[in-house]
Chains A and B, each alone.
Chain A
């Protein structure tokens, strides 16, 4: 398996523009997580999905952020409009949860999408 695939790897955009980050989880995994990493705040959980359903989006900073998972093999994180403080590395991770969605097992991370908003 190729692992978790994220695109783009790097994105530079101007304030006010829409940004869409994409993620393809590992085939067979049923949980998907979006994290944001900054020097100041470390790895913050933004949102996670179980079986394509958003479970907890309390980490999403504000209404400018939205995430979707239309099927088991694809997820997007959208920022509209983007602001300079959104500059960070955004990671997608996937895992397999057993029956009854017991605790999360090993997370497999993508290589991240480095976003710079000017």
Chain B
């Protein structure tokens, strides 16, 4: 089955700096790669996703890149704000959806 690895497990940045989270996956059949944000006491919520026929996607301060050959994808958050502090999960999906272990992002004011 699919195995998703995510790094780093924790990330602390200064407000206004950029944050990058990286993931790798194992199943070449996976073709959908979402990123979820989870705030304390809540369920994960989709923030951006990318499909295998696209190499990059951007939505305001958030961007994702995908390298299917190398089986890795990344989340980039620019101009970070304190409200970006949360746990972020990457996932890879074929028929089911498997998640990475999560990255706890802290943005210091």
User: Do A and B come from the same complex?
Assistant: yes
Residues of B within 8 A of A91 (CB): 43-44
Interface positions of B from 50 to 109, Cβ below 8 Å from A:
89, 93-102
Q: Are B44 and A43 in contact (CB under 8 A)?
A: yes
A111→B34 CA distance, assembly (Å): 19
Q: A43-B102, A103-B31, A105-B32 given as contacts; is B43 within 8 A of A110 (CB)?
A: yes
A-B contact count (CB 8 A): 59
**Which of B1, B42, B98 is within 8 Å of A111, CB to CB?**
B42
**Which of A55, A58, A93 is within 8 Å of B43, CB to CB?**
A93
Q: Are B34 and A106 in contact (CB under 8 A)?
A: yes
B: interface residue count bin? 20 to 34
Q: A42-B101, A42-B102, A104-B32 given as contacts; is B46 within 8 A of A33 (CB)?
A: no
Min CB gap B50→A, angstroms:
12
Indicate whether A96 reaches chain B with its CB closer than 8 angstroms: no
Q: Are B94 and A103 in contact (CB under 8 A)?
A: yes
Q: Are B100 and A42 in contact (CB under 8 A)?
A: yes
A56→B2 CA distance, assembly (Å): 13
A112→B44 CA distance, assembly (Å): 10
Min CB gap B3→A, angstroms:
12
Min CB gap A32→B, angstroms:
12
Q: Are A56 and B43 in contact (CB under 8 A)?
A: no
A35→B43 CA distance, assembly (Å): 11
A105→B34 CA distance, assembly (Å): 9
A85→B75 CA distance, assembly (Å): 33
Indicate whether A107 reaches chain B with its CB closer than 8 angstroms: yes
Closest to A110 in B: B43
State the A residues within 8 Å of B (CB): 4, 33, 35, 42-43, 45, 48, 55-56, 58, 91, 93, 101, 103-112
State the B residues within 8 Å of A (CB): 1, 30-32, 34, 36, 41-46, 49, 89, 93-102
